[in-house]
Amino acid sequence: MLVVTIATFGGLLFGYDTGVINGALPYMSQPGQLDLNPLGEGFVASSLLLGAAFGALFVGRLSDFQGRRKTILQLSVVFIIATIGCSLAPNFLMMIISRFILGIAVGGASVTVPTFLAEMAPAEKRGRLVTQNELMIVSGQFLAFLFNALLGNMFGDTSHFWRYMLLIAAIPAAVLGIGMLFMPESPRWLAGKRRDRDALDVFKKVREPKQASAELEEVKTAILLESKQAKVSIKDLNIKWIRNIVLLGIGIGAISQLTGVNSIMYYGTQILQNSGFETEVALIANIANGIISVLACITGLYLLGKVGRRPMFITGLAGTTTSLVLIGIFSIVFDGSDWLPYLVLSMTIMFLAFYQGSIGPLTWLTLAEIFPMRLRGLGMGAAVFCLWMMNFLVGLFFPVLMNSVGISMTFFIFAGFGILGLVFIIYYLPETKGLSLEEVERYFRNETEEIRKISG
pLDDT at 350 over 60: yes
What's the pLDDT band for 243 if we cut at 50, 70, 90?
Answer: confident
- What is the average pLDDT score of the chain? 86
Q: What is the sign, positive or negative, of the torsion defined by CA atoms of 375, 108, 160, 90?
A: negative
CB 293 within 8 A of CB 352: yes
**Mean pLDDT value of segment 199-205:** 84
- Give percent of the chain with pLDDT exceeding 70: 93
Q: How do residues 127-137 score in pLDDT, each as one tens digit? A: 666 677 788 88
The pLDDT, as a whole number, for residue 128 is 66
The pLDDT, as a whole number, for residue 229 is 65
Half-sphere exposure of residue 363: CA atoms within 13 angstroms, side-chain side: 26
Half-sphere exposure of residue 361: CA atoms within 13 angstroms, side-chain side: 32
Backbone angles phi, psi at 203, to 5 degrees: -60, -35
The pLDDT, as a whole number, for residue 230 is 64
Q: How do residues 61-91 score in pLDDT, each as one tens digit? A: 888 888 889 999 999 999 999 999 999 999 9
Q: Out of 193-197, 232-236, 270-274, 402-406, which region has the weakest mean confidence (pLDDT)?
A: 232-236
The pLDDT, as a whole number, for residue 123 is 63
pLDDT at 363 over 60: yes
Greater confidence (377 vs 276) lies with: 276
**Mean pLDDT value of segment 167-187:** 91
What structural domains does the chain harbor?
1-183 (1.20.1250.20), 236-456 (1.20.1250.20)
Q: Out of 18-27, 324-333, 446-455, which region has the weakest mean confidence (pLDDT)?
A: 446-455
The pLDDT, as a whole number, for residue 436 is 65
pLDDT at 159 over 90: no
End-to-end CA distance of the chain: 37
Q: How far apart are CA 372 and CA 379, in angstroms?
A: 9
C-alpha pair distances (Å), 206 with each of 237, 333, 382: 40, 59, 33
pLDDT at 122 over 50: yes
Report field, pTM of the whole predicted structure over 0.85: no
Alpha helices in 259-278 (DSSP H): 261-275
| Max mean pLDDT range (74-88, 103-117, 442-456) | 74-88
What's the pLDDT band for 376 if we cut at 50, 70, 90?
Answer: low
Q: Out of 133-137, 212-216, 337-341, 422-426, which region has the weakest mean confidence (pLDDT)?
A: 212-216
Selection from 195, 188, 187, 190 nearest residue 222 by Cα: 188
| Max mean pLDDT range (22-26, 184-188, 265-269, 318-322) | 318-322
Give the Cα-Cα-Cα angle 190, 194, 197 (nearest 5 degrees): 70
The pLDDT, as a whole number, for residue 456 is 42
The pLDDT, as a whole number, for residue 51 is 93
**Contacts of residue 443, Cβ cutoff 8 Å, sequence gap at least 6:** 430, 435, 451
pLDDT at 59 over 80: yes
The pLDDT, as a whole number, for residue 61 is 80
The pLDDT, as a whole number, for residue 369 is 77
